Each structure stands twice: as structure tokens, then as C-alpha cells.
Structure 1
């Protein structure tokens, strides 16, 4: 990561970030479930200009027998960035980073999915990044959690994600692409607050021990807010389906 001073970019001034947010402010968040009629479950999640669409299919019998697990369902995740999601057109072919992030998202979801209830089946989660402006992996985890819930997949809890960054020596929540590009550290975190479990923790850059503890606490506070938004999105969807009956 290049330092902001080196790049001539001022990301924080008078306690405000370049987009006007305070250090612990999330970007505007929007969530919607049940938007794809052909999927068993679906969700659209937006953090600012980052937009991720999730679709879930299953549990179902796999076409390839080597996916069969005798005691539980196999959770398969495909994370993909649309060619138009970034400023420069991306190749539609899966990149090494997309393959890695597919694994990262899957591992963030596996602790909460009750896969043992559906042995010898697969649950497929498809994630399409429609627009990328930082925090795509944590938005993808959030979208996948919502889509799994919309599909009726039993889970121990909902999972939410957010990335904490260090910008000009200041810890900030929900970094966007500019902050990620010129910041000194980036720490994506995903957690299931209702069961007190962290399911994803990565760090790119350097934090002191005290900074790490502070950043993790900031992330968990933000994730609490994100998961409450997930619950509200699900509740709103159920009310709409039920004709507004409580």
C-alpha cells in the first residue's frame, strides 16, 4: 500500500474522511432479498458504490458424485467480478484472486450453515460483484448470508462483514477503494454476533497490538449494525410476501 502523503492524497481532514464520514461511519447501506425468481434465495447488498448480488441454489443432488459428502451438504461458493464492475474492463474468466476469495467467503459461511441437516447434497452460492468500490469480500459475505436465509437454509446465525482500515494513522470503518489504495492497513472481518463467533479475519498491512484490538472492536460494533440491517431486510421481505401482516 502506498502512503497517502506519497501519493499526494489527503484522505482525512479535521476528523472527517474524504467522503465526509467520521472514522466509525459506514457508507450508506442498502439490502434487498428475494430479487431473483429463478433462485432458491437471493440478495442484493450495497455498501456505498460497492454492489454485490448473491444467488443460492439448493440443497440439491450434485451432478458430479465427487462432491457428495456422506454426513453433510457441500457448500460451494463462486465469487466473480463482472467485467463492468471496475474502471478498467475485467476479463470475464475467473482470476486467481476470485478463486481465492471464493474460498475465503465459503470459509466465512461454513461455521454457521447447518450443513449436517442435508447430507449428500450441495448448496451453491453464486456471488456477482456488479460494482466494486472497496470492501467487496465483506459485502459478498453479507450478501451470501442474506441469500442463504432467503433460501430457507438453516443457519446458527446471520453473518455480516466489514473492513477496518488505517488511514493517515487513524483507524476507520468500512474502507472504500480510495482508502484501501492509499491506506496503511486493511483488515476485513466477518462475524456472527448472535453466537459471538468471528468467521473471517485477515490483515493486509501493519497494526500495533493496541491498534489491532481497537480495530477489531470497531469492526464488531459495525458488524452488529450490519446484521441488524440484515434482519430488517428479511423481516421486510416476509411482511411484503405476507401482505403486510405482523
Structure 2
């Protein structure tokens, strides 16, 4: 499919969205009773589950850090998550790369100095992949960390944007990603606007970089409103149960 066919003359994309529209987001927390914190998120047809354990004793004592907690991220994609039906282990090169991006995103945000010589584990599982995989993982991990009560400087909200036929578009789906669309993923701290991740694997003309980055940042702010609403609703529910 050519890029021209990804946007109709009326300005609509293949899934009916406008260029600056997010996919529908559904999210909830406390989905695992065994985990210290957990969350589930759907961004369009991309479905991600996150579980957080810790702070807890470091698995291997040699890895313990005297001044802060060690953050461990494990990422896995279910074989049935896409039409490829390709089995990918957690030690797959791409999986390790995504896990590294997520760890680097959260290391400056989690107040790890409060938990020296401990380990915080973040487990991420993709059940369905329809584009925006990295952003979904980051948003799910944020909610799971909040659910676990782990102190952070702020929410971390991520969103992708790209450029189709010289027009910036928000929150790419799998079909748009598969058409070699330049894609940029941004993760920010909403209160300060600080960027904690900026990731791009394809070429984007420098003239479009500012507009695509700005659109992705606007998407992050919209996602923050959704995630914050879910967290507040869950907190109110817990408080009402405690007071009952």
C-alpha cells in the first residue's frame, strides 16, 4: 500500500481517524492479585499487560547497587499477537532492545535512591500488536508502577507520531507502520514537559521533525488525562471499600 492510500482525499486514515486523533484507549489497574502492581491497557487493537514486583531482594547479590535500586525489565510478545505467528523469546534481539528502551525511560523517573540494594521487576506482555508497541508498554508500566506504590517524579506518558504524504499523523497503527512510514516515539513527564525517551528507527526529513515531535507530545498529554483518570477512579474505589 502506498502512502497516498493511507490517507483519503477527505483526510481520513485507514481506520477512520483524522491525522491528529488517538486510537481509543481502555485501561485498568490491579489486574493481578499476586503482583505488587499491575495494569492492562488497550490502545486501539494493541493490548499490553504489565506486572511490577518489588522493591525486593536482588536475585543475584553481585548485581546489587549500594546507592539505589536495580530496575529489571522483561518484555515478551505472544506468538499469536500478530499475523506473522512468529515465536519470539524474551532473549530475542528486538525484545531485549525494547526492554532496554523501557528501562532507560524509567531509570531517571523512579526514585530508586530510596531503595538501595533492592530490585524492581517490570514484566510486560503483548497479547495483540497493532502498532504503537513501545508506547503501549511504557503507558502500561507507568500504571503498574503507580499501582505498586513505587515513588516516581511524575507519570511517564508515551505516544508515537509519523509523517504520511508530508502530513504529520498521530498514534500509528500496524498498517501505517508497515508502509515504511517514518515514526517517532516520545515519552514525557506531563507536569514539566521533560522528555525521557525519544526513539526513531526510520528516516524523517528534518523539516518535519519539529511538527511530528510536537504532535507526539500533544498525544502524550492526552494519554496522561486518560491514565490519570483511571488511577484516580481506582483510588476512589479503594478508598470507598476501606471506608465501607
Counterpart among 121, 125, 144 of residue 122 in structure 2: 125
Alignment pair present for 1:239 and 2:236: yes
C-alpha displacement of 1:194: 1.1
C-alpha displacement of 1:86: 1.3
Could you give the per-residue CA deviations for residues 152-200 of structure 1, whole angstroms, max 9, x where no partner exists?
A: 0000000011110111222100000000111430111111121221111
Q: 1:4·1:183 contact (CA, 8 Å) conserved in 2?
A: no
Counterpart among 1, 4, 9 of residue 2 in structure 2: 4
Q: 2:56·2:120 contact (CA, 8 Å) conserved in 1?
A: yes
Counterpart among 16, 20, 23 of residue 20 in structure 1: 16
In structure 1, C-alpha distance between the alignment counterparts of 2:223 and 2:150, rounded to whole Å = 20
C-alpha displacement of 1:205: 2.6
Report the counterpart of residue 200 of structure 1 in structure 2: 197
Report the counterpart of residue 87 of structure 1 in structure 2: 83
Paired residues for 1:83-122 under 5 Å? 83-94=79-90, 95-122=92-119
Could you give the per-residue CA deviations for residues 58-100 of structure 1, whole angstroms, max 9, x where no partner exists?
A: 0000121122000000011111101221112222522110011
4+ residue segments displaced more than 6 Å: none
Q: TM-score normalized by structure 2?
A: 0.94
Q: 2:89·2:95 contact (CA, 8 Å) conserved in 1?
A: no
Q: 1:168·1:183 contact (CA, 8 Å) conserved in 2?
A: no
1:224 partner SS: helix
Q: CA RMSD for the aligned pairs?
A: 1.5
Matched pairs, number = 240
Q: TM-score normalized by structure 1?
A: 0.93
Structure 2 gaps of 5+ residues are none
Q: 1:167·1:183 contact (CA, 8 Å) conserved in 2?
A: no
1:39 partner SS: coil
Counterpart among 175, 183, 186 of residue 186 in structure 1: 183
1:229 partner SS: helix
In structure 1, C-alpha distance between the alignment counterparts of 2:181 and 2:46, rounded to whole Å = 21
